[in-house]
Amino acid sequence: MGNIYKLKCENGDYEKSLFLGAGMRYPGFNGSYKAAFCKKCNDFTEIMVNHDKNDEPVGGTKCCGSQEDFVRIDVEDTENEELTCPICGGRILVNTDGSWD
Ligand SMILES: [Zn+2]
Ligand SMILES: [Zn+2]
């Protein structure tokens, strides 16, 4: 089961839900969705990572499949990670918003 994280700009001009965690698990592969920021789309997105390989990204971003133009972010640890709004540069507030599977 994964968690849904809701990203919301403090100025109210941006909002997005990320579906993280719970991904694929089968012999030889143990992966899940992590948050990332796609530089191509200038938007937050998800990527699949392989936990058996030091959380190495598998494939590209969910939004456009890019394997290069993204940076990984940690929405589960917002005390140490400052996220900024892609629209106005304001602070992004993160709340959990239920779970999915
Ligand atoms: Zn993209
Ligand atoms: Zn904003």
Rounded distance from Cα 14 to ligand 2 centre (Å) = 5
- 10-27, pLDDT tens digit by residue? 999 999 999 999 877 888
Q: How far away, in angstroms, is 56 Cα from ligand 2 center?
A: 30
Nearest ligand for residue 8 CA: 2
Tokens of 73: 């972010």
pTM score of the predicted model: 0.90
Ligand 2 mean position, distance from CA 37 (Å): 15
What is residue 76's predicted lDDT score, i.e. its pLDDT?
79
Q: Give the pLDDT of residue 81.
A: 72
Question: How many A from CA of 96 to the centre of ligand 2?
Answer: 19
Close Cβ partners of 14 (under 8 Å, ≥ 6 residues apart): 7, 8, 85, 86, 87, 88, 92
What is the structure's pLDDT at 50? 93
Using one digit for the tens of pLDDT, what is the confidence trace for 41-92? 999 999 999 999 999 999 999 999 999 999 999 887 766 678 999 999 999 9
Distance separating alpha carbons of residues 43 and 81, to the nearest angstrom:
16
d(CA 69, CA 25): 26
